[in-house]
Amino acid sequence: MIRTALEVGMTKSPEAILFWVLAPLSVLAAIGMLLVKKAVHSALLLAWVMISLAIFYIAQEALFLGIVQIVVYTGAVMMLFLFILMLVGVDSADSLLENIKYLRPIAVTAAIGIGGLLVSLIGRATISHNAYGLSIANQNGNVQGLAQLLFTKYVWAFEVISALLITAALGAMVLAHSNKVRSKFSQRDLSAARFRGKKLAEAAGLPGPGVYALHNAVDVPARLPDGSAAATSISRVLEARGDVLESKQFELQQSEDESSDK
């Protein structure tokens, strides 16, 4: 069952077709992940890369790994990532300031250098060398084989990982969970605070977004009686994302004429 690596790479099976379709796509997605501006897009592209990898794993007989890759990485981690991005990350912009001069060219050179080095080394080492498939390991089934290893040979490491997980949970608690120093604001407190605020106008609550003849959505600010846009009428998050539309363009043409008449 031993074939050379080169042979494996050139199999004319469906696996090869799969590879040549998916591999370029996943590389593109990986590059795109670095280049796109918005974090959400980047996360989605990353998810795409991970799904492609999972497919490769499955195609190469590592069924369990492939499923785990999807369930854990794409399913859990990436989704969690997206949630977090949506919750907190949207209006926090990345600083694109380069503290170190010429960091970019240096990084690119280093990346190309080490990449080239590795490619050439691995190429030299793989081409015309024997490669082992997973058929021996999978004799009794992929999952069964893995389980056997996990619970016999590597049981110690497997158990010790629990320490890692507890640490992670504990760390999350330390960094995020706060013991209440004082009682939460009640409805009453909030109401009182509103009336004691600086402006009495705010006591009644913030204005809703704009409603116009041509457009009616959360991304257009309302207009105040004096003709200016009400900044407080729009969600802060939309503003940070730059998804706010100018309210003027949705006003009736007539009103503009009126104002010009004066």
Residues that bind another protein (CB under 8 A): 118, 121, 124-125, 129, 148, 151-157, 160-161, 163-164, 166-168, 170-171, 173-179, 181-182
Rounded distance between C-alpha atoms, residue 24 and residue 17, angstroms:
12
CB nearer to another protein: pick between 11 and 148:
148
Q: How far is the CB of 25 from another protein (least distance, A)?
A: 24
How far apart, in Å, are the Cα atoms of 43 and each of 9, 36, 107, 238? 30, 10, 22, 19
Q: How far is the CB of 193 from another protein (least distance, A)?
A: 14
Contacts (Cβ under 8 Å, ≥6 apart) of 181: none
- The full length of the chain comes to 262
CB nearer to another protein: pick between 86 and 155:
155
CB nearer to another protein: pick between 69 and 247:
69
CB nearer to another protein: pick between 42 and 215:
42
Q: How far is the CB of 101 from another protein (least distance, A)?
A: 17
CB nearer to another protein: pick between 11 and 167:
167
Q: Do residues 138 and 61 make contact, with C-beta atoms less than 8 angstroms apart?
A: yes
CB atoms within 10 A of CB 65: 18
Q: How far is the CB of 174 from another protein (least distance, A)?
A: 5
State both tokens at 110.
Answer: 């280093």
Element (H, E) at 131: strand 130-131
Q: How far is the CB of 8 from another protein (least distance, A)?
A: 15
